[in-house]
Amino acid sequence: MIERFFVKVQTQDRIRASWLGEPIERYVTWLHDHHYGARNVYRRVPILVRFAAYTQSRGAKAWTELPHEVQPFVEQWIRDHGSRCRDERGRKKLINSVQGPIEQMLRLVLPDFPGSRRSHLPHPFLEQAPGFFGYLHEERGVRPATLHHYDHCLRSLECYLRDLGMIALKDLSPTILSAFVTTRGQQWGKCTINGLCAVLRVFLRYLHREGLTSCDLSSSIEAPKRYRLAEIPRCISWENVGRMLEAVDRRTALGRRDYAILLLLVTYGLRSREIAALTLEDLDWERERLRIAERKAGHSTAYPLSPIVGEAILDYLKHGRPNTSDRHVFFRVLAPPTPFTAMAISGRAAHYLHKAGIAVARRGSHTLRHSCVQRLVDAHFSLKTIGDYVGHRSPDSTMIYSKVDVEALRDIARGCAEEVV
């Protein structure tokens, strides 16, 4: 396949592309190794040939000069082809289709080339409290996902203080902190605000411990009231679970993967990150066991492997999973085939709930986890057994499902006619 691409390159303009022949060849080899389709490669190679001719016409003689030529080339391409774009969205799509292949190639030949990808932002308040995130990781043992949550919340505080023209943390006061929480409360949900307040308390106690503030302001953070068992689980009926599974096209690799993922969600009530972390070693075919390691509660669980779930996973492994040395079970279908993420799993669950026309307040993988738990409650399993089954850290997490008999309430909602005398 690679040879055919270079025949095409040479027929387009052998002389103009000659000085970038090696980078283009290396890039095409990379595309082939990462399972990009032939159609995708045929579309990218002519763009690189045009870029080579453009840079040569502007006197470029070394690969290190190429990064400065990317933006001018893209702007010229937009002038030549942008008339076909109907709106700003189409224009951005065209820019990405041209700029993306060029920057991918440059990242292969120039290791220090950052491209237009957003660089990783430093942690908030890094200059004034440089040891805080190290303290979270080393002393408190905070997981990477929770560190990301801290980063997000404190970055929001940093932006808020910057808008006020306030820079020094020593100038923080209960009034400013209260105003910040109130402002974010108008934008974020109650559960998110409670998480924000918890982050602020930890941060403020650390600042006082390190002598960065004169007093401990953590007591001035008041989270909104949340009443125990006030919320109803966002689950769907088992009939709707069947409708959602029927909406999956299992004839394709994408459908086989998604069907196996959905079955894992509704059968075992797994979290999306637990499915994303599954490896081939977690599937014990001889003893028909499914192992879930490093659960949120800090333990691992071994489930009997359901025949239906096992057949779905096996169908994906045989006819959908890419040929890769990576031991993760689930992968992206589009190139490059990288392991599926927890966010992507939740997105696929939301997609099929929408496709099946199932109305739910917040679509996602947790909706299916709630549905699994609710089915166990309806089957009269004890709350302790259910909590152990789905990996709840505390019995209180399972208690919310005990306060409402969904099926009984559904029968009441349907109504039973009374005779009127």
The whole-model pTM stands at 0.69
Ranges of H-type helices in 236-306: 238-246, 253-268, 272-276
Q: What is the pLDDT along the chain (421 residues), one digit of tens a residue?
A: 554 555 454 444 443 445 788 888 888 889 888 888 888 888 898 899 899 989 989 998 888 889 999 999 999 998 888 887 778 788 888 899 999 999 999 998 888 787 665 545 688 998 999 999 999 999 998 888 789 899 999 999 999 999 998 878 988 999 999 999 999 988 887 888 999 999 999 999 999 999 999 999 999 998 777 665 556 667 888 999 999 999 999 999 999 999 999 999 999 999 999 999 999 999 999 999 999 987 776 678 899 999 999 999 999 999 999 988 999 999 999 888 899 999 999 999 999 999 999 988 778 888 999 889 888 888 888 888 888 888 877 776 777 766 555 555 566 566 654 544 4
CATH class of 238-412: mainly alpha
CATH class of 132-220: mainly alpha
Residue 49 token pair:
């040939």
The reply to whether omega before 336 is within 30° of 0 (cis) is yes
Distance CA(302)–CA(357), nearest Å, equals 34
**Which active-site residues does the annotation give?**
271, 296, 366, 369, 392, 401
Distance CA(71)–CA(63), nearest Å, equals 15
Backbone angles phi, psi at 301, to 5 degrees: -135, 140
Residue 395 token pair:
């019995």
| Amino acid at site 405 | D
> Which residues partner with 292 through β-bridges?
301
Torsion-angle region of 415 (φ positive above 0: left; ψ -120 to 50: alpha; else: beta): left
Q: For the chain, what's the residue count?
A: 421
Residue 126 token pair:
């890094």
Domain locations in the chain as residue ranges: 2-109, 132-220, 238-412
- Cβ atoms of 149 and 192 within 8 Å: the answer is no
CA end-to-end distance (rounded Å), the chain: 83
The reply to whether omega before 124 is within 30° of 0 (cis) is no
Residue 398 token pair:
């399972």
Q: If we measure between CA atoms, which residue out of 294, 239, 292 comes closest to residue 270?
A: 292
